[in-house]
Chain A
Amino acid sequence: MVNVLSIDIKKLVIDALKPREISLAELAKAICNIDCVEDVMISVAETDMRTETVRMILTGTGICYDDVLKVLNENSTALKSVDEIAVSKKQKKML
């Protein structure tokens, strides 16, 4: 029996810049479609002529950061900063 540590991301708060053509609903659905993301909350922080600065709060168990980046790129959304992150450590017993 071996004890394996896994560190999972439980919460991510992201500041991002998206074109106005991409709707909030589409973006939120696309992010929520990522495995292990359970809740997505997006709010518009600033509106420009072509873009919107959005604040996203993602919660789940074991959120894959790379998958989140991939979905943001797919939706022409640039990551500005990660403002908050919550992780937890879990011990798993494996044979």
Chain B
Amino acid sequence: MWRSYAFRVTVQGLLTLWAVTTFTFVMIRKMPGNPVEVVIDQLIDRQQLSYEEARQQAAGLFDFDPGQPLIEQYADYMNKLLHGDMGKSISSAGTPVANQIKRYLPWTLFSVGSGLIISFTLGVLLGMAMAYWRGSVFDNVLTAAASLMYGIPDFIIALLLLLVAGVQLKLFSMEDVLGGVGQDVHAGLNLPYLKSVVQHAALPVITYVWGTVGGWILTMKSSTISTLGEDYIMVAKARGLPERRILTAYVGRNAMLPLVTRLAISIGFVVGGSVIIEFIFQYPGLGRQLAMAIGTRDYTTMQGIFLVIASAVVFSNILADLLFGMLDPRVRVGGEE
């Protein structure tokens, strides 16, 4: 039974990936402009070349023919992909897309992943506490704070952190917070490197947590309030079960169900990074790389990153299905009794 479910899910996942890959392949190429045209415009503007000169020069910079029929490009791409080759970057000829992903993905996983874990944990704990003591000063203050935090865009927080805490209050030097790691430390499993990595991730993580924790708090609070009104909670109380057991085994577990799906989707999107935050803090993540690839119409890099994001979302959704079944015994995998 489990095997057939796993097989079904795997096939579904692969089909989804193929569909997403094909869809993004076509959509990317339907975007206005192509890598060569973008560079032609840049050469004309920056070097005052004529269109013909710029076209000639741009053609010399790319191993890419925008005139090649779409179906041929697609066949080439899929053929390479099936052989485990994501191709080479168009805008940086000779640079394998796999190397780009290897370079940037860990930073995004670390920063956005840490941010998500912290944000989710804080949100669940505070949301539950607020629901439990609903109507209290604690609840009212935190509800207002959560709404406020959720309502402020993350890039405003990022800029405020840099301009107020960094520039005006001089709480830190820019050199210590911009980028993924300090320039003078040697990469490896040594304390200075790890400290530098954590130090440089601090502001992106704080910004991410600030921008998302409000949503988790409010969702958890409303879910917990709804769970607290359920009959089985009353029954549990009537049976004289300890408060702690009711809170963890009855309330917490059931209230978290709606958050699990959301968490799974969020985990999927962790690999996409947080584009604006990465831009502002010069954090070398995949989100920033994707935005740059879109700007330069680097088709192969975009496709590679979209494939990784799609794979993560598909995988995390499968994980969510499995987790849901574990958390709620009423849910049977595949709808079977």
A binds B: no
Name A's B-contacting residues (CB within 8 A): none
